[in-house]
Structure 1
């Protein structure tokens, strides 16, 4: 089945190409941070992004597992790369939009679709989830959610293709019916003169 990347998936593929990272084995959070001129700090606080005098820092909670820190890093990296404004001074709805975007970015940055498409995932869901978690160094819950997003997208593409095919067949049937009705109408309205 042909898979069409979304705009977000294309953006992330371009980011990884810019970073010259082609597979999960080459992903290194600190190298990525350095490439984007972002300082990474570990504190006893919630993870966040801070911009001060044009410099970016991502603060990660030191009590989190490496997998959770990687996930939080990706979330905060989205704010660095795509968002502007003071989170505390912006309208609640705009802040919620940015958080939604950062969450989507996080799932796709930590487990990029173009890399998932290169994998042969097991048919059993638990085994596929485990393979994603281990390969991309994310938590089980994260891998489970990312697999669900991937499957939903594939199902959507499959539905779109089947629906388009159905519409094309319906158009051909309708075309034939119109031709038939036109011929019938012409035959019925014909008058024979002798």
Structure 2
């Protein structure tokens, strides 16, 4: 199987390498926020990100499961790092949809970075549970990520 990472996957890899995030154990929301000068909060309220001038913050709903909290964190991080404008006010629907599509891809790539998963044996029996445990994300996210990898891969038959 031959896979070519997308530009967004390469961008996430460079971001992580610059922060010394080399393994699944290194993926930590607080450390990532510290490197990026983003304030990180967990509160019992709907998740959101906020940016004004030099202040950036991510608030994640603590009522969600820990795995879902991680995924929501990456979604909000995508908005801070990659998007402009306030979605709730005056943004054309097509532009908002594009940002949401991009954030969804970013979650997959940041939570399950290719430079960390490329060494995994994709034929192992308990692949999804193993990835869920290693990367601390939901089985649904692992399945989506693997499906995209398989769809984009070139399979060589000899």
| TM-score scaled by length of structure 1 | 0.75
- Corresponding residue for 2:129? 130
Alignment of structure 1 residues 61-100 onto 2, 5 Å:
61-89=61-89, 90-100=91-101
- List gaps (5 residues or longer) in structure 2: none
- Corresponding residue for 1:35? 35
Report the RMSD for the aligned CA atoms in angstroms: 1.6
User: Which of the pair is proportionally richer in helix?
Assistant: 1
- Corresponding residue for 2:13? 13
How many residue pairs get matched? Answer: 156
- Corresponding residue for 1:144? 143
- Corresponding residue for 2:118? 117
Distance 2:43 2:26 in 1: 26
Distance 1:52 1:110 in 2: 26
Q: 4+ residue stretches of structure 1 with deviation over 3 A? A: 121-124
Query: What's the CA shift for 1:121?
Result: 3.2
| TM-score scaled by length of structure 2 | 0.91
Query: What's the CA shift for 1:118?
Result: 1.5
Asked if 2 retains the 8 angstrom alpha-carbon contact of 1:121 and 1:131, the reply is: no
- List gaps (5 residues or longer) in structure 1: 163-194
Distance 1:2 1:148 in 2: 14
Larger relative contact order (CA 8 Å, sep ≥ 6): 2
- Corresponding residue for 1:106? 107
Larger radius of gyration: 1
